[in-house]
Chain A
Amino acid sequence: MTRETALNTVLMALLLGVPLWAWVSDEPFTITLATRAVIFALAAVGLNIALGLGGLVSFGHAVYFGIGGYAMGILAFHAQTYTPLMEWPLAIPGTKLMPVIWLVAMAVSGLVALAIGLLSLRTSGVYFIMITLAFGQMFYFFSISWPAYGGEDGLSIYIRNSFPGLNTLDPIQFFGICFVILCLVLWLNVRIVNAPFGLALNAARQVPQRVETVGLDPFRIRLTALVISGMICGLAGALFADLNRFVSPTMFSWQMSGELIVFIILGGLGRVFGPVAGATIFVVLEHALGGVSDYFLFFFGLLLLGVVLFARGGLYGLALGRADR
């Protein structure tokens, strides 16, 4: 067992153990915090496939997170008001079933990622960062000015959606669902890293010319990575909306995109479990420092600045020495 594997195991054991302990000692708030960390981790792991592995610095992943959120919000809104989602050409009702919501969230965010990718991957470097940022703003302003689903006020869902065979209203059971999904996605991520596709993606980040000479198309590889990444973020968004039973344009905001990148860097770029560590640390700090000072983000900003300037490689880098990626 390498030191990185050991650290991964400790991290996941803590992420599972703390809420289990909170469940035994009846502290539902701690379970909710852990669920929040797991969902942020899921979104950051999704972004990491594009950013860490593919080198695509997307500053607009809140788009997919928000689409997931609104997929849940819109479907559940129609179910709770007993209005059809669509009457023509097909009569489609809303739904409160999580698996259906997840599929819709992933399908829509995947399609949007495909469209955004087709446009934005024509550019690279700074242009790519700014274009993804601009697409994020486009969705943000659209969600604010479109009044049908709450506009600026967002959309409240009164009862959490259901999962067959489980009681999602019980915090620990909802946590369980999110944790299992995170584990599945991490497993998928490890598989991708070792699969031919992952190797090609990694190569396209390092030397795109060589990838081209061996007959692979970097554009298509990157586009695929962006779509997978967007779908995972969409799923995380649907779960996040279900956790809060509320969606608002904030999920589309550029701060959200920035925070997702922060999770990755804080944990350690180029590590599969880095985003999990980063998201967990963020939620813990937000809770711990938020109680001490109203100006939590001031100190968080300084910490982040310190990590970027002096501790490249993030927490994993600090714990294990420089990343050998």
Chain B
Amino acid sequence: MTFILIAEQILNGIQFGVMLFLMAAGLTLIFGVMGLINLAHGSLYMVGAFAAAAVAGASGSFILAVIAAMAAAAMAGVIVELAVIRRLYARDHLEQVLATFALILVFSEGTRWVFGSFPLFLDIPDYLSGPVTLPAGIQYPLYRLALIIAGLLVAIGLGLFITRTRVGIQIRAGENDREMTAALGVDIAKLYTFVFALGAALAGLAGALVGAIQSVQIGMGEPVLILAFVVIVIGGIGSIKGALVGSLLVGLTDTLGGVFLPEFFKLFADADVATATGSALASMAIYVLMACILIWRPTGLYGART
């Protein structure tokens, strides 16, 4: 266990974390502003990845693919918001869960219908492939480093957008008091559609960026969706800052747990047993982390409301 290996794993954890943030930010915005639990957020991630794979296959351009992913996910988001989600704001959480669960079935099977059951592949562009040498002699894949930077830039941009722009102020106002905001002349219906599309575009971006390191397949969104839920529960639902801190915590815990727990058990058990126990416990680590945080703070790290 060398310093370089540890540093690499920490970078992997951060990379995983910032990608989770792109998902969690949309989820937490949609919940914070509209009070809606959106299980279909993972489907928008999948839509982004498939759109990126299709456009990259046709045009060969990675930049175009990423733009297409965001556009396709945002489009899908707008359509779904206008057709279905809009009717759910006033309903209770159970009905929201169920309707968006139904949307997952429709999206997954619909995508299987169009693209078939086989995974697609999205290649990393040449100018982002290969390793790069960081200070202290750490070799790290350039693409993953680019993901970290892109994710952090989006986080900063989103933070500025929410705190500094007029639309951001309206979003925060809508979060606090819907009626008062509407009375002051803000078109709440339009604002909701916009927030949903923004969340969808972020999910689509995450899908396209992660699609290049994993395969693009049906059902790829749901594991990420559930992790994003864990993130926003840890961070406090509705808080962008909480989503960022939660994402990094979850990303680091999952990655470092998977590497170090088996090593830790090897100190006092056989290699086989240690690997089995360690990896079994590592797969549960983030949920244990979540349970601990909730015992300490039932509404998450930055959550004020219950």
The interface of chain A, by Cβ under 8 A from chain B, is 51, 57, 59, 119, 122-127, 129-131, 133-135, 137-138, 141-142, 144-148, 254, 258, 261-262, 265, 269, 295-298, 300-302, 304-305, 308-309, 312
Contacts and interface: CB of A to CB of B under 8 A. Distances in A.
A127 B31 contact: no
Given A261-B97, A301-B109, 20 more contacts: A57-B94, A127-B300, A130-B229, A134-B287, A135-B287, A142-B280, A142-B284, A145-B279, A146-B276, A258-B101, A261-B101, A295-B109, A296-B109, A297-B109, A301-B102, A304-B98, A304-B102, A308-B95, A308-B99, A309-B99
B287 A125 contact: no
B57 interface: no
Contacts of A301: 102-106, 109
A171 to B, nearest CB: 30
B3 interface: no
Contacts of A269: 94
A283 B133 CA distance: 57
A57 B97 CA distance: 9
A144 B279 CA distance: 10
29 contacts: A59-B97, A123-B298, A124-B306, A125-B93, A127-B294, A127-B299, A129-B37, A131-B291, A133-B229, A134-B290, A137-B226, A138-B287, A142-B284, A146-B276, A262-B101, A295-B109, A295-B112, A297-B105, A297-B108, A298-B109, A301-B104, A301-B105, A304-B98, A304-B99, A304-B102, A305-B103, A308-B95, A308-B102, A309-B87
B200 interface: no
Interface string B225-247: 01001101100010000000000
What 7 A-B pairs come out closest when comparing CB atoms? Answer: A301-B105, A298-B109, A141-B283, A304-B102, A301-B106, A138-B287, A305-B102
B222 interface: yes
A119 B289 CA distance: 13
Nearest to A258: B101
A304 B93 contact: no
Is the contact region of chain B dominated by helix, strand, or loop, or is it mixed? helix
A305 B106 CA distance: 9
B294 A262 contact: no
Given A123-B298, A304-B105, A129 B84 contact: no
Contacts of A300: 105
B127 interface: no
Contact of B280 (A135, A146, A305): A146
Contacts of A137: 226, 287
B290 A295 contact: no
Nearest to A137: B226
B295 interface: yes
A15 B104 CA distance: 30
Interface in B245-281: 276, 279-280
A134 B229 contact: yes
Interface string B63-93: 0000000000000000000001001000001
B118 interface: no
Contacts of A146: 276, 280
Interface string B291-306: 1001100111000001
Interface of B: 31, 37, 84, 87, 93-95, 97-99, 101-106, 108-110, 112-113, 222, 226, 229-230, 232-233, 237, 276, 279-280, 282-284, 287-288, 290-291, 294-295, 298-300, 306
A282 B93 CA distance: 23
B279 A130 contact: no
Contacts of B229: 130, 133-134
A235 to B, nearest CB: 24
A117 B112 CA distance: 37
A265 B95 CA distance: 9
Nearest to A127: B233
Q: By CB atoms of chain A within 10 A, which of B31, B37, B105 has the most?
A: B105
A30 B197 CA distance: 46
A295 B93 CA distance: 28
B132 to A, nearest CB: 32
B284 A302 contact: no
A138 B87 contact: no
Contact of A144 (B106, B283, B300): B283
Contact of A119 (B237, B294, B299): B294
Given A119-B291, A304-B102, A138 B284 contact: yes
A119 B295 contact: yes
B279 to A, nearest CB: 5
Nearest to B111: A298
Nearest to A124: B306
A309 B287 CA distance: 33
A131 B294 CA distance: 9
Contacts of B101: 258, 261-262, 304
Contacts of A123: 294, 298-299
A309 B298 contact: no
B106 to A, nearest CB: 4
Contact of A134 (B37, B110, B233, B276): B233
Q: By CB atoms of chain B within 10 A, which of A145, A148, A302 has the most?
A: A145
A131 B37 CA distance: 13
A300 B110 CA distance: 12
Contacts of A59: 97
Nearest to B290: A134
A144 B223 CA distance: 14
Contacts of A131: 233, 290-291, 294
Contacts of A258: 101
A178 to B, nearest CB: 26
Contacts of B306: 124-125
A305 B99 contact: yes
B283 A298 contact: no
A315 B204 CA distance: 36
